[in-house]
Amino acid sequence: MKTKELLEARWKVITFTLLALLTSAGNIAIYQYSHYQFTLSRKSALFQDMLQDPLLHDFNAFLWNHWFGVNGLLVMAFFAIILGSGLIVNEVSKGTIFFLLSKPVSRERILLTKYGVSAGLLLAVSVMSSLVIVVVSIAVGHPQDLLHVLIATGLLWLATLFPLGISLFFSIVSPDTLRSVVFSMLLTFAFVGLPALLPNGQNWTLEHYWSSQETYLAGGFPLKEYLVCLITAVIPVLAALILFRRKAY
C-alpha cells in the first residue's frame, strides 16, 4: 500500500519539491540582489519597495520571515492540501475503495497508512528545502545555526499536518477532489486568518504558532508552539478516523 501511495503521489511530489527548493533558494538570491542594488546609484524600480524592507539589514531575519514565516508555509500548506484531498475520494472515484476495504486490515490502518505516507513526503520536502537554505547560505557567506534550522523545520512540518488532516477529512466527505481541495483551503484559511480580525485576535491565529521568529533568531525551543501545532494536527485526523470508520461504501 505504501508503494502504491508513493507512485500515485510522485508527480505532486516532484512539482512541489522543485517549487519549494526554488522558493527557498530564491529568497536568498533576492536578498543578495537587493543588497547589490544598494551599491548602485540608479536602483531598479522593481526593487524600490523591497529596498525599504528593514529585514534587509539582517540576513537571518530576512530568511526566517520569507521562508519559515511566509513563503514556506504557503508552499508546504498547499502541498499538504493537494496530497490529502485525493487520498480517499480518488479511491472511491476509481472504484478501488472496495478492494482496499476487502483487505484483512482495519479501516483505521488503511487511513493512517495513507496519512503517514503523505506526512512523510511533507517531512522529506521540508528537510530538503532546509538543506538548500543551509548550503546556499554558506555559499553566500551567511552560515546558519543548524540547530535553529532544524527546530524551525520541525515546526514548519508540524504546521503542515493541520491542512493535511483537514484535507484528509474532506477527502472522505467530498464527492470529488476539486471540492475537497476548495473546502480544505477555505477551512484552513478560516483558522489561520479569521481570528486576526478580532480585537487582540492575532495571538489566536494558527499562523502565530506555526512559526517562531524569536526561536530562530535567538535560540531556545518553542515548546508552546510545538504543542499547539501537535494538537491541531491530531484533531482533524481523529475526526477523519471516526468518519471513515462509519462511512458506508
Per-residue pLDDT of 212-228, as tens digits, reads 666 666 667 888 889 99
Counting as low any pLDDT under 50, the low residues of the chain are 41
In this structure, the number of other CB atoms found within 10 A of the CB of residue 50 comes to 15
User: What is the per-residue pLDDT for 48?
Assistant: 55
pLDDT digits (tens, 9 = 90+) for 147-156: 889 988 999 9
Question: What DSSP character marks residue 51?
Answer: G
User: What is the per-residue pLDDT for 43?
Assistant: 53
Q: Where is 242: in which H helix or E strand?
A: helix 223-246
User: What is the per-residue pLDDT for 25?
Assistant: 87
Question: What DSSP character marks residue 64?
Answer: I
Name the residue range of residue 172's domain.
2-246
Cα–Cα distance for residue pair 196/32, rounded to 1 Å? 33
User: What is the per-residue pLDDT for 54?
Assistant: 54
Cα–Cα distance for residue pair 245/25, rounded to 1 Å? 43
User: What is the per-residue pLDDT for 200?
Assistant: 72
- Looking at the structure of the chain, the number of domains it has is 1
Q: Are 175 and 246 in contact (CB under 8 A)?
A: no
Closest CA to 207 of 191, 192, 187: 192
User: What is the per-residue pLDDT for 201?
Assistant: 65
